[in-house]
Structure 1
Amino acid sequence: MKRLLLPILLVAAGVMSGCVYEYTDEDGYRMAVINEGFPVPKNAYEVKPEDCTTEIAKSAKYKLKGIGDEEGTPPEEYLEEIQSWGWTELEDKRVGHIHYYEKKGKIMSLIIQENVFDLFEMTDNIEL
């Protein structure tokens, strides 16, 4: 019985290492926890978000391998998906890897970094 334990543990470790959350456009998208109209990749793993401020009404933080490179450049397919959900990027407000989107008076901020991204729903009285 003890001889079988080691091979079973090795197989289990191999299976578990295959369950890495990684960005692929084929996996699709789901609604963000802070705004049902904003897409996030289906396989993004939610972690503890940043604290809200007077400018931020809600926040969510996600881990996802491959969502951004070292400079925070997001996959083009993700940006296209956001637009297909009806969000318009406020390109003149973009600062580095911080993107702002507007839809029906709501403003969302998307901050992409390597393997992690933050999503913020801005307060109604924000001046960009």
Structure 2
Amino acid sequence: MKNYLILSLLLPLLLFSSGCTPATYEITGYTGSSINEEIPVPVNAKQMSLTAYSDNPNFKTGITYELKHIGGEQGLYVPSDYFEKLSEAGWVEVEEERMGHVHFLKKSDTVIAIVFQEHTFEIIEMMPGFTF
């Protein structure tokens, strides 16, 4: 009888926990960013804000997009398919300059930083001549 009681308590917990798997993001295609057409952005990412960084001499402009689960739980996961698309477009990650959520990419003389959070990502175009 005791075994049936334990089983009847564990079964609902098992069913509940299997239904709580983390959601993933979905990219339906790409378009150029509104701050730089050469930077691909998922078509289904919603533009949240456009920022001119006048208080930081290294930042030219920035834009924030919303795409549910793009950065994974707490922004800890890099969206590999998005980075593949950036690579196809000619952007090369400067891996030695990566700082947690901040990834730097370079194409010709242009340097951008992409900051991932759980449901948003921000693209920041650095000033011409920016050095790390």
User: Do these two structures clear the TM 0.5 threshold for a shared fold by scoring above it?
Assistant: yes
Greater C-alpha Rg: 2
The residue aligned with 2:21 is none
1:65 aligns with 2:68: yes
The alpha carbon displacement at 1:66 in A equals: 1.6
1:81 aligns with 2:82: no
The residue aligned with 2:128 is 124
CA distance in 2, matches of 1:28, 1:126: 30
CA distance in 1, matches of 2:108, 2:130: 15
CA contact (8 A) 2:51 2:61 kept: no
Amino acid at match of 1:37: E
The residue aligned with 1:49 is 50
1:93 aligns with 2:97: yes
SS in 2 for 1:99: strand
Counting aligned pairs with the same residue, the percent is: 33
Match of 1:107 among 84, 88, 111: 111
Cα deviation, 1:79-125, whole Å, max 9, x if unaligned, reads 11110111000000001110000001100100000000000000013
The residue aligned with 2:25 is 23
Amino acid at match of 1:108: I
CA contact (8 A) 1:56 1:123 kept: yes
Q: How many residues align?
A: 106
CA distance in 1, matches of 2:57, 2:114: 17
Which segments of 5 or more consecutive residues in structure 2 lack a partner in the other structure? Answer: 1-23
SS in 2 for 1:49: strand
Which segments of 5 or more consecutive residues in structure 1 lack a partner in the other structure? Answer: 1-21
Q: Which runs of 4+ in 1 moved over 3 A?
A: none
SS in 2 for 1:36: coil
CA distance in 2, matches of 1:86, 1:108: 12
CA distance in 2, matches of 1:46, 1:23: 16
CA distance in 2, matches of 1:101, 1:75: 14
